[in-house]
Amino acid sequence: MSLPRIVIEVVRLGWRRGQWGFNEPPTNVVRTPVGTRDLGFVRPLVGAADGQELFEALLGPLWERILELPEVRASRGVELALDLPMSLQGHLWEAMHDGQRPLGANPGLLVAITRRVASDTPLPGVVAGAPRVLFASGAKLTEPVILPGAMFLGLLRECESEGLALASVADDLSADTLAGRVEAFRPDLIHLVAHGRLDEDGRLLVELSGALVPPDQLVAALLPGGHRPLAVVLSVCHTARLSPASLAAKLIGAGVPIVVAMDGEVAEPACRLFSKRLVRALLNGDGVAEAAAHGRRAALVGEPDPGTRDDWARPTVYTAASLPAAFRPVDPEPARRVLGQARQLDLAQHPVYIGRRAIFDQVDRLLPGGPGLLVAYTEGGFAKLGATRLLREIGFRLLHAGHVPLLLAPHTQHTAPRTLRQAVAAVLKAALDACDRLGLPAPALGTVAAGLPPGAASPPGSPRRGVVAFRDAPGALDLDVVREALAADLAALARVAGERLGLPYGDHTRVVVLAEGLHLWLGALGWIESEPPGLLDLVTPNGLGGAASPVPVVATAALDQCVPLSAFKAQRPGMGAYRFEPLTALPDDEAMLGYQWVLLQAWHPDDRYRKVWVAAPGHDKEALRATFSKHLRGHPAGVADTLYFLVDVLAEWKHFVAHDDEAAWRVYAELHRLAP
């Protein structure tokens, strides 16, 4: 049930017998004009006294009438949708205080405060499935001023790891490269982090890759080609105040129905709780106002004196005036189904995955029209680099895009394929496993019939018997025949998945093969004269598929231990159909940021560590960087053990602070009878 909405319109009434007049609210309480004084005297400050001034100026005696409305009493909540003149937008109305507590901290009444902006543009449709979220920065994410906003991505990553979102990260963007990323990724939500400044005329300029961009140009970059996201979150200075020329007003005027301007560091517990609960509630299918109200109240509950702080009040939620009170931006059911499928396929794992942005950028371009082979390679072994986890994360991402990943992992020297027959059989077995786990009928495997000796028939009964017979049959395979048959089998699997699994699958659905440790596939890769034909001889620019239904192959390999793959790479230089991306230890900046994203999640199996960990205010950034670099060495696989041992020690020396966000939310949820 959505919160009842009361639209607060400010109308300036004349002086009446020494008092200001209030129009009577209409009986249906859809719109409530409110008389008010000229609020120019109200200081744009926060604190109990300032919050009370704002409250008395805007609501005053009307508040008691609002509390007695049947709709408000029945729902134990209300959305105050502020329809204010531009001259009053600079005040922090979210900090209104009724004399006992901030409105957002009322334990018995859920109070949402939103700000309405006129817009005639039709609303985008509801997102069905995991929303696509672009986290974009106008500077490097590790810049000191940008870093607090970048911490928001750590909160988003938690939702991504639980199957509620699909995120892409891009930093140091210019207006042109931002437009390119938006056009390629087509996000449902954009979070922009950038420096903002006012020019000599008071107009906002946003710094993107060193250039100052005015709002009109930035709006064009955020909405290229007519694409309109459902929401834009702005971690940019000077965007929380609305004016006709402001970025928020221009975005809503251009058709973005929800704009959130953040004016506080996300690393603060209150703002972190607000952000986490807002995003989680939206992705779970709650309404905008209700999600924001729960986030703000969760941040306030337990504060000894919330009227003395203001970080909880800084996030400002603007909505298009045409946005219905009952509007739900996201239908989460398809995403929940995908999470179940990911678990069935052994792809969904904690903790949050970090780094490898260049590789994930290539994965996002795989379909349609991307490379047929993408290899993440090392030149010195896989130890602590998280290669298997990388493939699982890629598979999880592909599921959300509506594709079917076939994971050929984990492998050792004793279990990896040794012949082309074994390699093809591994693909067919993974296809049958996927059918079993996703509840799909197994396709009639033409590859088995094509690979059996002349006159031999596939064993009756289980298709798996046919795969075993294919694998163990004598004789060489005809590459052209097997390539054609395998492409047809995998196209059939993609087709049945697109027809039967529902959203996000459909006509666009394809199969993607994920192969671990190709350097272990001794004798199964081919390509060089001393080896019999192998997997690399099967791969074309369409991967293992055909032009109508490509089947890209994504693999990991130690290139220095794999002569066939090294030769393949050397003979395909610069060809877009075959991509090789280095898999190395993370650079210090990327590692530091990634480790902190992980520490923002309460995921750890050990109760001692299942908290949110943040660097203490005033910490020595360079000393912290050196400590992490020395002990973790940029290894993603050190997250589960070394990272938490390290921050536990640092916490003893007051360099890190642990905050139990989940315990705070459980207390809040129990108090208000919510599902955690």
* 153 pLDDT higher than 70: no
Tokens (6 digits) for 318: 């603007």
- Condensed to tens digits (0 to 9), the pLDDT of residues 193-228 reads 888 887 787 778 888 998 999 989 999 999 998 888
Greater pLDDT, 296 or 395: 395
Q: Residues with Cβ < 8 Å from 483, sequence gap 6 or more? A: 538, 540, 544
Return the pLDDT at 478: 92
* 556 pLDDT higher than 70: yes
Q: What is the mean pLDDT of residues 391-412?
A: 91
Q: For the stretch 641-660, what's the b/e string if a residue is b when 16 or more beta carbons lie within 10 angstroms of its beta carbon?
A: ebbbebbeebeeeebbbbbe
Return the pLDDT at 661: 55
User: Which residues of the chain does CATH 3.40.50.2300 include?
Assistant: 127-281
Greater pLDDT, 153 or 619: 619
- Condensed to tens digits (0 to 9), the pLDDT of residues 474-484 reads 989 999 999 99
- Condensed to tens digits (0 to 9), the pLDDT of residues 438-466 reads 999 998 899 999 998 887 777 777 899 99
Range in 26-30, 286-290, 351-355, 375-379 the model is least confident about: 26-30
* 176 pLDDT higher than 70: yes
Range in 72-81, 231-240, 412-421, 427-436 the model is least confident about: 231-240
Range in 11-15, 627-631, 639-643 the model is least confident about: 11-15
On the 0-12 / 13-18 / 19+ scale of CB atoms within 10 A, 233 is: buried
Q: What is the mean pLDDT of residues 261-272?
A: 58
Neighbours of 70 (CB within 10 A): 9
Q: How many C-alpha atoms does 533 have within 13 Å on its Cβ side?
A: 13
- Mean pLDDT for the chain? 81
Return the pLDDT at 183: 92
Between helix 288-300 and helix 269-283 the angle, nearest 10°, is 150
With CA atoms as reference, report the closest residue to 676 among 386, 83, 663, 176.
663
Using pLDDT thresholds of 50, 70 and 90, give the confidence band for residue 488: very high
Return the pLDDT at 93: 87
* Residue 531 backbone class (left: φ over 0; alpha: ψ -120 to 50; beta: rest): beta
- State pTM to two decimals: 0.78
Return the pLDDT at 303: 55
* 650 pLDDT higher than 90: no
* 20 pLDDT higher than 80: no
Question: Does residue 263 contact residue 149 with C-beta atoms inside 8 Å?
Answer: no
97: DSSP letter: B
Q: Residues with Cβ < 8 Å from 581, sequence gap 6 or more? A: 358, 359, 362, 374, 375, 376, 377
- Condensed to tens digits (0 to 9), the pLDDT of residues 269-297 reads 666 667 667 777 777 788 888 888 887 77
* 545 pLDDT higher than 90: yes
Q: What is the mean pLDDT of residues 347-369?
A: 84
356-413+479-582 CATH, one of 1.10.8, 3.40.50, 3.10.180, 3.30.230 = 3.40.50
Using pLDDT thresholds of 50, 70 and 90, give the confidence band for residue 238: low
Using pLDDT thresholds of 50, 70 and 90, give the confidence band for residue 22: very low
Q: How many C-alpha atoms does 235 have within 13 Å on its Cβ side?
A: 26
Question: Does residue 13 contact residue 20 with C-beta atoms inside 8 Å?
Answer: yes
> What's the CA gap between 567 and 527, in Å, rounded?
8
> What's the CA gap between 356 and 635, in Å, rounded?
11
Return the pLDDT at 268: 56
- Condensed to tens digits (0 to 9), the pLDDT of residues 308-329 reads 566 667 778 899 988 888 888 8
Greater pLDDT, 189 or 240: 189
> Any idea which fold 127-281 has?
Rossmann fold (3.40.50)
Question: Does residue 556 contact residue 516 with C-beta atoms inside 8 Å?
Answer: yes
Highest mean pLDDT among 48-52, 94-98, 265-269 belongs to: 94-98
- Condensed to tens digits (0 to 9), the pLDDT of residues 606-616 reads 888 888 787 77
Return the pLDDT at 464: 92
- Condensed to tens digits (0 to 9), the pLDDT of residues 100-146 reads 888 888 878 889 999 998 888 787 788 877 888 888 888 887 776 66
Greater pLDDT, 636 or 363: 363
- β-pairing, 204-208 vs 211-213, is antiparallel
Return the pLDDT at 670: 54
- Condensed to tens digits (0 to 9), the pLDDT of residues 492-536 reads 999 999 999 998 899 999 999 999 999 999 899 998 887 889 999
Return the pLDDT at 28: 28
Which residues on adjacent β-strands are paired with residue 235?
193
Return the pLDDT at 575: 64
Q: What is the mean pLDDT of residues 375-391?
A: 86
Backbone angles phi, psi at 167, to 5 degrees: -110, 150
Q: What is the mean pLDDT of residues 643-662?
A: 80
Q: Report percent pLDDT > 70 for the chain.
A: 83
Return the pLDDT at 674: 45
* 358 pLDDT higher than 80: yes
Q: Residues with Cβ < 8 Å from 617, sequence gap 6 or more? A: none
> What's the CA gap between 103 and 100, in Å, rounded?
9
